[in-house]
Amino acid sequence: MNQYLWIQNGLVIDPDNNREAVGEIFAKDGLIVKDLTDEEKDKATIYDAKNLVVAPGLVDIHVHFREPGQTHKEDIASGSRAAAAGGFTSVVCMPNTNPVCDSVGTLERIKASIEKESVIHIYTTGCLTIGMKGEQLCPTGQLKGAGVVALTDDGLCVQNNEIMRRAVEYATLHKLPIMDHCQDVSLTKDAVMNEGEVSLKLGLKGWPRAAEDIIVARNIILSELTGAHIHMQHVSSYHSVELLRNAKARGIPVTGEASPHHIEFTDECIGDYNTLFKMNPPLRTNKDRLALIEGLKDGTIDCIATDHAPHSNTEKDCEFDKAPFGIIGLENALASTLGTLFHNKELSLKEVIALMTHKGAEICNLPAGNLSIGARADICIFDPNKKWIVNGDDFKSKSRNCPWIGRTLRGQVKATYVEGKEVYRLRV
């Protein structure tokens, strides 16, 4: 591997360092450096980024790579390559594998696969409760020692408030954030989409936004009580946005994320029972969608996260009621987010990049998301204006459950570097 990298002529946008100007980026031995010597420049790999944006490698703190247990959908190798194709250089994997990540043994198995197969930086999370059953706390200290960056029972929200209180207290003792999938399951039994006019029209069981709002409120109360940092995953309800806004105004240490699909689509997209728009939490109304965008604009919602959730074609190709929840989105996340926020003039390019780099990294305390001198040379180079049609046949992911397939998006990743090494380049 060439140990020197020289990226020329690009518009360098590094929000964490308040940098936005045409310039150069240099890397040596995998790290960002201020400059290279003339001799080193002669040996460097050169990338001419004229008319392109050079940004920190993107960061996604909410993905599912399905290893171990469901590798027919995704694995570390395919998931990491999909991430690289989307410009992501650091991701955080959820623990709902098979077996779940509630023990050091399972985590070590995953870490061994990451070391062997991944082309990007993959971080692991551990479960809050054993078996993700919400009944008995996991060995928090052991999981921290094994290298997890957060704790979560993603997909199976802890329902018992006393257990959740103890879980967040122990996590706080070990300086770990808690990431919560906010869902009161007593309100969502057999529900498959947002409760409202569309669910009534389609004759499908509705999922009230109150199921999310109640748990967001619970978590805010517990955060204020214990001082724990609780992060709300894939916020989808306008009322949850308001709850977070009020909590932050009072100095409570809570954060939240929004997914590209929740800020772009609504429950109207389900149309003729299209299972590619079935997700958890469900797509909601335009009022909710606009509230999420406002939350991103005023800082109520801290970052963008994809909730990349691969499923096979056969699993999704069935009746809407029976199809699994979830979609993939790593490979088109930048373009879809740019379309919703930048090209629609909701946020500047610099602000969008911030939501997809250092702001997510800060939630999980990751060494990622900026182009500081001495930082890892993790870089995303993209054309913010290039239009392209999403083609599932081009995906690096094993799965194709993507609602953007066939759509024209604007904003295309050209190259991705991890520690100065090219891990993706668009071939045309």
Question: Quick one: pLDDT band at residue 174, thresholds 50, 70, 90?
Answer: very high
Q: Tokens 């619970």: give the residue.
A: 218
**Residues 390, 393, 395, 401: is their CA dihedral positive or negative?**
positive
Provide the phi-psi class of 203: left if phi over 0, else alpha when psi is between -120 and 50, else beta: left
Side by side, the strands of the sheet bearing 230-232 are: 178-180, 230-232, 254-258, 303-304
Quick one: pLDDT at residue 391?
97
What percent of the chain shows pLDDT beyond 70? 100
Quick one: pLDDT at residue 2?
63
The pLDDT tens digits for 355-411 are: 999 999 999 999 999 999 999 999 999 999 999 999 999 999 999 999 999 999 999
Catalytic residue list contains 102? no
Interhelix angle 161-173/210-226, rounded to 10 degrees, is 50
C-alpha to C-alpha distances, 364 to 46, 68, 179, 314, nearest whole angstrom: 33, 23, 9, 35
The arithmetic mean of pLDDT across residues 345-363, rounded, is 98
Amino acid at 253: P
C-beta of residue 341 within 8 angstroms of C-beta of residue 293: yes
The pLDDT tens digits for 111-163 are: 999 999 999 999 999 999 999 999 999 999 999 999 999 999 999 999 999 99
Amino acid at 202: L
Name the residue among 266, 150, 264, 273 with its Cα closest to residue 202: 273
Spatial distance between the Cα atoms of 355 and 15, rounded to a whole number of angstroms:
9
The pLDDT tens digits for 27-83 are: 999 999 999 999 999 999 999 999 999 999 999 999 999 999 999 999 999 999 999
Amino acid at 117: E
Quick one: pLDDT at residue 427?
85
In order, the DSSP letters of 263-274 are HH--GGGGTTT-
- Is the confidence at residue 428, as pLDDT, over 90? no
- Is the confidence at residue 325, as pLDDT, over 70? yes
Q: Which of 102, 180, 267, 307 is catalytic?
A: 307
- Is the confidence at residue 219, as pLDDT, over 70? yes
Architecture per CATH, 57-363: Alpha-Beta Barrel (3.20)
Quick one: pLDDT at residue 381?
98
Q: Where are the domains of the chain?
A: 57-363
Question: What secondary structure letter does DSSP report for 324?
Answer: P
Bridge-based pairing state of the strands 254-258 and 303-304:
parallel
Spatial distance between the Cα atoms of 330 and 396, rounded to a whole number of angstroms:
10
Residues contacting 14, CB < 8 A, separation 6+: 20, 55, 56, 370, 371, 372
Torsion over CA of 287, 292, 293 and 296, rounded to 10 degrees? 160
Bridge-based pairing state of the strands 19-28 and 31-33:
antiparallel
